[in-house]
Amino acid sequence: MENQNQHNHHFLLVVYPGQGHINPARHLATRLATLTGTTVTISTAIAAHRRMFNTSPDPNQEVQHGNLTYIPYSDGYDDGFKTGTDDPKLFIPTFKRTGHKTLSSIVQSLAARGRAVTCIVYTFLMSWAADVAREHNIPSVLFWNQPATVFAIYYHFFHGYESLITAHAGDPSFTFHLPELPPFKTRELPSFITITDPDHPHSTILTLLREGFEALDDVVEAKETKLPKVLFNSFEALETSALASVHEIENLTIGPLMPLDEVSGGDLFKNDERDYMQWLDTKREGSVVYVSFGSMSVMKKFQMEEMLNGLKESGRPYLWVVRKDNREEGVELEGGGEDGMVPNCSVVVVIKTLNLDFCEANLKALINGFD
């Protein structure tokens, strides 16, 4: 009977359209489907869905990929949010209104097709997905795809420390003492909580974060029988103090979530056509410096030049991920250095090689799991 009930479950993972959200959500979905036999559907915004399945005959529609189903919702920016063209002040209301409406339609459609959703799992920045779940009487769970320490910092920021942190946002050396966490200087905090300019291009992220924590608070204040559950892409032995510092949630550590197979797909950005893995194989073990600043940072010309000069002066071979949209418009590097740059690459595959420097053993242990 237990196995039968397990197979009747249908998890709907609602994912923010960013690479750092999609990858861990896909790994979680794959594990759920593979290890438990449950039905799992992933829903991210149409623009991201199109890039993931750009060879599909109709990339706007439902896609069956392995044992997972992908059904996109619309966030109102089906061609992607255009920086410099679209109004950032309209992003949040459009994202929430259109996303809420289209996700609700997906839930209704799945139920009508005999595939009723029994649990909605949503990544952070997607608190409106919990509203959809509540309206359809479906349990929901937040999946926090960043370190638990980051969650704890955000939690304390929104629960008594916002004014202190904001007051010292301009002092990179100021030290903060948050409950049950080690001391942090301003420069060590997540950059979103040090944004004081409402016109900053990333101020909308802080608003979405605030709404996410308010949604968790609403569950606590409603005095429901259980605390809100939060899934963490981490494990308790790694972040014991961070997990213990937040008392108003039920934390469930499920990490590290990494691909079950070597080729997992799901990339929003095209990997470099050059064979960087073959290039890596020619380098001495522990000799290569890997540099990447994620998908949201935009580097100024002088920052890129300083980084390039530092890498060249180190005398070490390097692999630097520099996408075209990862720099200010029109920025071109002078003085060469292009041999060590790629517009995108598979971080997991690269770190699994034997010739990367910096915390090599720890990174490999996190990726491959501990015995």
Share of the chain above pLDDT 90, in %: 52
Residue pair 366/296 in contact by the 8 Å Cβ criterion: no
* pLDDT at 270 exceeding the cut of 60: no
Res. 104 pLDDT band, cuts 50 70 90:
very high
Q: Which domains does the chain have, with CATH numbers?
A: 2-149+192-253 (3.40.50.2000), 276-368 (3.40.50.2000)
DSSP 288: B
Radius of gyration, alpha carbons of the chain? 21
3-state secondary structure of 41: strand
CA–CA separation, 177 vs 60, rounded Å? Answer: 47
| pLDDT for the residue numbered 291 | 84
CA–CA separation, 47 vs 119, rounded Å? Answer: 24
Res. 363 pLDDT band, cuts 50 70 90:
very low
CA–CA separation, 57 vs 63, rounded Å? Answer: 10
Q: Dig out the tokens for 236 from the structure.
A: 């308790």
Which of 17-26, 40-49, 348-357 tops mean pLDDT?
40-49
Provide the whole-model pTM: 0.81
* pLDDT at 332 exceeding the cut of 60: no
Note the pLDDT tens digit of each residue in 40-88: 999 999 999 998 888 877 878 899 998 999 999 999 999 998 877 888 8
Is 21 assigned a catalytic role? Answer: yes
Give the closest residue to 152 by CA, choosing from 121, 190, 123, 186: 190
Cis (ω within 30 of 0) for the bond into 88? no
State the catalytic residue, choosing from 7, 9, 10, 21: 21
Number of Cβ atoms within 10 Å of the Cβ of 245 = 19
* Mean pLDDT, rounded, of the chain: 83
Q: Which residue has the higher pLDDT, 23 or 369?
A: 23
DSSP 51: H
Give the closest residue to 295 by CA, choosing from 272, 273, 324: 324
Q: Does an H or E element contain 320, and which?
A: strand 318-321
Residue pair 232/252 in contact by the 8 Å Cβ criterion: yes
Number of Cβ atoms within 10 Å of the Cβ of 215 = 20
Q: Dig out the tokens for 334 from the structure.
A: 């002078």
| pLDDT for the residue numbered 272 | 52
DSSP 237: T
Give the closest residue to 242 by CA, choosing from 155, 173, 161: 155
Q: What is the dihedral of CA 127, 130, 135, 136, to 10 degrees?
A: 140
Q: Which residues, other chains included, contact 202 with Cβ-Cβ below 8 Å and sequence gap of 6+?
A: 191, 192, 195, 296
Give the closest residue to 274 by CA, choosing from 336, 319, 317: 319
Note the pLDDT tens digit of each residue in 277-319: 777 788 887 788 888 776 666 777 888 888 888 988 988 888 8
* pLDDT at 245 exceeding the cut of 60: yes
Residue pair 288/319 in contact by the 8 Å Cβ criterion: yes
At residue 322, what are phi and psi to the nearest 5 degrees?
Answer: -130, 95
CA–CA separation, 224 vs 80, rounded Å? Answer: 38
What ranges in the chain are assigned the alpha helix state H?
A: 2-8, 19-36, 46-52, 88-112, 127-135, 148-156, 162-167, 203-221, 240-244, 276-281, 301-314, 347-351, 360-368
